Amino acid sequence: MDFNGIALKRKARLAGLLYLFLVFSGLYGLIYLPSKIPQGGDAATTAKNILANEFLFRTGLVNGMISGLLFLFVVLALYRLFEPVDSKQARLMVILIVLQIPIGFVLEVFPLTSLMILKGEALKFLEPGKQEQVALILLEIGKQGTLSLEFFWGLWLFPFAWLVWKSGFIPRILGLFLMLNGLAYILEWFTLLLFPSYKAQMRVWAFPFFFGELAITLWLLLIGIRKKAETHENVSP
């Protein structure tokens, strides 16, 4: 493999490494923390769970900010890798990520404000019971806002999938898997909005396709590029 091929593999593996960090961050925020700090049920129980695990709750806030930065670094690394493949689609991929990052940062304000209210550091004029209710409302707004981002989580995977498909240095099956992954996100988003009674069935159906991002992450990190594609010159512009 010549110098250009080595550089291409390094870019791929850097993108894969950053993507892996993003996957771990997502699992921590979306699966691990909710399992440790249940927020369902009445306001009093939710408030008790949060205050009993305050530090863990705060790590979720930090993780949310880190996830946003990681998302930006991931898409920039992918842009460097795929820009020679199709510059327009690579730019579209970046735009679709950049649009959602500020939204994610704003959404972190809601759980932080909820914690401040529960600790008596904000809205002190409210009675304790009212404070818990307001805090619960803010938490729910944050959750629903995160669900709204699921549309963008799916949308950016379409140009990404096209770039993988067209690249020639990554198996096309991974591009197809990414396309299905993006479609699963978007269909789940529409189901939650339009047919909420079917959300459980949709998640069961969509679950296998969510491994598309993990598959491309592991490929980029462990393999990088296929041996037959040694330089960007093998890729059609």
Model pLDDT, residue 70: 95
Model pLDDT, residue 236: 43
Q: What is the pLDDT of residues 170-200, one digit of tens each?
A: 999 999 999 999 999 999 999 988 998 888 8
pLDDT higher than 70, residue 16 = yes
Model pLDDT, residue 228: 53
Model pLDDT, residue 192: 87
Kindly state the average pLDDT of the residues 157-163.
97
- Over the range 57-94, which residues count as b (16 or more CB within 10 Å of their CB) and which as e? bebbeebbebbbebbbbbbebbbbbbbbbbeebbebbb
Please indicate whether residue 128 or residue 151 has the higher confidence score (pLDDT): 151
The whole-model pTM stands at 0.85
pLDDT higher than 90, residue 146 = no
Q: What is the pLDDT of residues 60-95, one digit of tens each?
A: 999 999 999 999 999 999 999 999 999 999 999 999
103-112, 116-125, 163-172, 204-213: range with lowest mean pLDDT: 116-125
The DSSP code sequence of the chain is: --HHHHHHHHHHHHHHHHHHHHHHHHHIIIIIHHHHS---S-HHHHHHHHHHTHHHHHHHHHHHHHHHHHHHHHHHHHHHHHTTT-HHHHHHHHHHHHHHHHHHHHHTHHHHHHHHHHTTSS-TTS-HHHHHHHHHHHHHHHHHHHHHTHHHHHHTHHHHHHHHHHHSSS-HHHHHHHHHHHHHHHHHHHHHHH-GGGHHHHHHHHGGGGGHHHHHHHHHHHT-S-TT--SGGGS--
pLDDT higher than 50, residue 139 = yes
Q: Which residues are CB-contacts of 201 (< 8 A; sequence separation ≥ 6)?
A: none
